[in-house]
Amino acid sequence: MRFPDILRFARDAATGYPLRTALSVLAMSIGVAAVVILTALGDGARRYVIGQFSSLGSNLVIVLPGRSGTGGFNPANAITSTPRDLTIDDAAALLRGSAIQRVAPLVVGSSEISAGGRLREVMVAGTTASYFAIRNFALAQGSALPEEDWGRGSSVAVIGHKIGQEIFGSNSAIGQWVRIGDRRLRVIGVLKPLGQGLGMNTDELVIIPVALAQALFNSNTLFRILVEAKSRSAISGARQQASDILKQRHRGEEDVTVITQDAVLATFDKLLGALTLGVAGIAAISLAVAGILVMNVMLVAVTQRTSEIGLLKALGASGRTIRLAFLAEAAMLSAVGALLGYLLGQLGAFALRQLFPVFPAYPPDWAVIAGLATALATGLLFGFMPARRAAQMDPVQALMSH
Amino acid sequence: MALLELKDIARRFQLGDTTVNALSDLNLRIDAGDYVAVMGPSGSGKSTLLNLLGLLDRPSAGSYLLEGRDVTTLSPDALAGVRSTRIGFVFQSFHLVPRLTAAENIALPMTLAGIPAAERRQRVRQALGDFGLENRADHRPDQLSGGQRQRVAIARATIMQPALILADEPTGNLDRHTGDEVVRLLEELNGRGVTLIVVTHDPSLGARARRQLRMEDGRLQSDSAQRPGAIAEIAPRPGGSVAA
């Protein structure tokens, strides 16, 4: 039997039993769609987190006080006091590093902001002008913190977009006075709305000079030093230099932790990649179930068409021809189901992206290819047994079953 | 020359603990171009004989020469090849594939044999004309009358130009008039040189054949072509009344 004839014969056989065919195609398509949508969710989560991290700034090296081996949060840090403060001078000293482009010391605390009788709680970040460059903050109005001596701290503030709206409404905030804690500050800039950044909502942030923040929170230590390396390839150099300079300044004691953004990213990437893989594995089970259903359907088909198989044998069909015809039918059910499932999955992922625009729910290529391949492979694998049963049928018995 | 020759054929079935002798001591020679009717009561071994002749079944003992070649030793696929090119089947219940049109049913043996589509189309058109089915080419079996269905089945059986046509009760599901029509078609084919073997209960159909074989209990009881003396050893009354 010629190949196109086998395909046509299998197609006619499949369409001859529409309900049975539709059900097995549906099962297969749900399996594939599950793989596509679930991996789109998993990979979307991964991209989302990585995107958030990237928004912290590029080529970033972060210095935090205290020693912790892993670079993550260490419960010991919460109990033991840091042996030595991380100071503004430490931060300034980092500028000596040849691989280091910019440095921004950071003090974070919460305080109250009030103006014109309105009052609310805010996150206050004490830092310098370079922070805006490192974090890629853009201003809606006014200007960033002035370039000045880090130890001086003029009485100015840059406020987040939402804070500006809540306190000043539609009036311009620039030039207005606000009270933060016990200080009166003049608003010199309003940030562009950015939305949720990892851990810190910049729309509800007030940025003031670092020295002012230290006085406000009555603290000498920094929360972080953000270091921007000169280029991507300079990141490890910058990390080493930051570490060396601070060790030197702290009398040879390694009492700070220097982490690179890449290390954090890689950890999250690995974690969420594994999550995606796990989800894909779960979805693959539904594919296997679909494969078994195709086998079931094909076994029913063989039983239902016993007399037809007998006839084909009487008309001179070899065992190979009959096997191929039934395998082709199983493959066709799986292929159509897989294709339909792929379209359904892409449609589902598209709907997810429409519903949650910040969430990049694109199925990864490997998952799509693996899903389609698994669908076809299980279809053929589970189609093989029924096809063999058909080919081995005794023609006399088969003809008599009419 | 003999088209087929059976020597000491036996076919036994195992039913639980008992062995059923469906055929035993069968010796038969059928010449090319002959018209043979196989008759006998139900369970006499007619169908088993037909299945053996059609290479759908294998004998338990004995040899079967088809066109001078021993076919009892062939592999299943080799047997399928012989069935494809040398043997045509006509069944009582037509055995058409319900989802295929008349033309596709007729073309099925050629499709299975891998004959190119262009040649298939041309031969099917010819066959549709020969069997008066020109206007029924695109009809499915459930849109055809019984007689038309059997004509499609006969067209299918002859499309590969076989040497032998085996018909199992070809008129069994038809009324007398359409049955006669179908028999005339089969006899026409025989007139063109195709060997025709018909299994039937119907004495009048059997009587039309040039040679009658009568089966009983898995044995050949009588053979109108045998000299009476040879038959006498097995059956004392040659040409006896219809057993059924």
Give me the sheet containing B18-31, strands edge to edge: B18-31, B2-15, B61-66, B69-70
For A228, A386, B8, B102, B235, the CA distances from B136, given in Å and listed in that order, are: 83, 34, 46, 7, 48
Question: Region A206-228: what's the mean pLDDT?
Answer: 90
Residue A57: per-residue pLDDT: 65
Question: Region A234-261: what's the mean pLDDT?
Answer: 86
Question: Region A190-194: what's the mean pLDDT?
Answer: 84
Query: Tokens in use for B95?
Result: 């055995």
Nearest to B108 among A315, A319, A396 (CB): A315
Closest C-alpha to A269, from A53, A41, A38, A34: A53
Q: Which residues on A lie below 8 Å from B112 (Cβ)?
A: 1, 312, 315-317, 321
> B134: which DSSP letter?
G
pLDDT band for position A79 (50/70/90)? low
Looking at the 3D structure of chain B, how many domains does it have?
1
Query: Could you tell me if A16 lies within 8 Å of chain B, comparing CB atoms?
Result: yes
Query: Tokens in use for A176?
Result: 């207005």
The pLDDT of residue B72 is above 50: yes
Query: Could you tell me if A396 lies within 8 Å of chain B, comparing CB atoms?
Result: yes
Residue B144: per-residue pLDDT: 93
The pLDDT of residue B237 is above 60: no
- d(CA A317, CA B81) in angstroms, rounded, equals 8
Kindly report the pTM of this predicted structure: 0.70
Closest C-alpha to A104, from A215, A255, A207, A201: A207
Query: Tokens in use for B149?
Result: 């269905």
Query: In one letter, which amino acid is A207?
Result: I
Residue B229: per-residue pLDDT: 44
pLDDT band for position A78 (50/70/90)? low
Question: Region B42-61: what's the mean pLDDT?
Answer: 91
Assess contact for A253 and A84: CB atoms under 8 A. yes
Tens of pLDDT, residue by residue over B177-215, are 999 989 999 999 999 999 999 999 889 899 999 999 999
Nearest to A314 among B89, B100, B116 (CB): B89
Residue A71: per-residue pLDDT: 46
**Hey, are the CB atoms on A316 and B83 less than 8 Å from each other?**
yes
Question: Region A141-147: what's the mean pLDDT?
Answer: 89
| Number of A–B residue contacts, CB under 8 Å | 70
Range of the domain at B162: 2-97+154-232
Q: Which residues on B lie below 8 Å from A307 (Cβ)?
A: 95
Interface of B with A in 5-44 (CB under 8 A): none
Q: Which long-range contacts does B53-56 make (Cβ < 8 Å, 24+ apart)? A: B53/B4, B53/B164, B53/B166, B53/B197, B54/A314, B54/B83, B54/B87, B54/B89, B54/B166, B55/B79, B55/B82, B55/B83, B55/B87, B56/A313, B56/A314, B56/A395, B56/A396, B56/A399, B56/B83
Q: Which residues on B lie below 8 Å from A1 (Cβ)?
A: 111-114
CB atoms within 10 A of CB B66: 21
Query: Tokens in use for A75?
Result: 């419960």
Residue A56: per-residue pLDDT: 66
Q: Which residues on B lie below 8 Å from A402 (Cβ)?
A: 93, 95
Closest chain A residue to the Cα of B54, Cα to Cα: A314
Tens of pLDDT, residue by residue over A292-321, are 888 888 888 888 889 899 999 999 999 999
Query: Tokens in use for A81?
Result: 């006091």
- Average pLDDT of chain A, as a whole number: 86
Q: What is the CATH number of the domain that holds B17?
A: 3.40.50.300
Residue B56: per-residue pLDDT: 92
Question: Region A107-128: what's the mean pLDDT?
Answer: 90
Percent of chain A having pLDDT more than 90?
27
Residue A192: per-residue pLDDT: 87
Distance, first Cα to last Cα, chain B: 33
Give rounded-to-5 percent helix, strand, coil for chain B.
35, 25, 35
User: Domain for residue B204, yes or no?
Assistant: yes
Closest C-alpha to A227, from A59, A56, A98: A59
* Higher per-residue confidence, B94 vs A77: B94
User: Domain for residue B127, yes or no?
Assistant: no
Q: Which residues on A lie below 8 Å from B167 (Cβ)?
A: none
Compute CA B31 distance to the chain's CA centroid, rounded to the nearest angstrom: 15
Residue A371: per-residue pLDDT: 86
The pLDDT of residue B4 is above 60: yes
Query: Tokens in use for A380?
Result: 């053929």
Residue B230: per-residue pLDDT: 44
User: Domain for residue B239, yes or no?
Assistant: no
DSSP code string of A318-363:
-HHHHHHHHHHHHHHHHHHHHHHHHHHHHHHHHHHHHH-TTS----
Interface of B with A in 126-185 (CB under 8 A): 156, 160
Residue A272: per-residue pLDDT: 84
Give per-residue burial for A186-216: e unless 16+ CB within 10 Å, then b. ebbbbbeebeebeeeebbbbbbbbbbbbbbb
**Hey, are the CB atoms on B98 and A16 less than 8 Å from each other?**
yes
Would the CA dihedral through B230, B235, B238, B243 be positive or negative?
A: negative
Give the distance from residue A308's alpha carbon to the nearest chain B alpha carbon, in angstroms: 7
Tens of pLDDT, residue by residue over B132-182, are 899 999 999 999 999 999 999 999 999 999 999 999 999 988 898 999 989
The pLDDT of residue B75 is above 80: yes
**Hey, are the CB atoms on A5 and B111 less than 8 Å from each other?**
yes
Tens of pLDDT, residue by residue over B112-128, are 999 999 999 999 999 99
pLDDT band for position A381 (50/70/90)? confident
The pLDDT of residue B33 is above 50: yes
Instruction: Give, to the nearest 10 degrees, the angle between helix B76-86 and helix A306-314.
Output: 70
Query: Could you tell me if A300 lies within 8 Å of chain B, comparing CB atoms?
Result: no
Interface test with B, best of A318, A392, A397, A402 (most B CBs within 10 A): A318
Residue B244: per-residue pLDDT: 39
- d(CA A128, CA A362) in angstroms, rounded, equals 38
Q: Which residues on B lie below 8 Å from A308 (Cβ)?
A: 97
Residue A68: per-residue pLDDT: 59
Pairing state of beta strands B87-90 and B2-15? Answer: unpaired
> B93: which DSSP letter?
T
The pLDDT of residue B225 is above 80: no
CB atoms within 10 A of CB A350: 13
> What residue segments make up the domains of chain A, in order of their start?
3-52+267-400, 84-254
Nearest to B80 among A5, A308, A317 (CB): A317
**Hey, are the CB atoms on B95 and A399 less than 8 Å from each other?**
yes
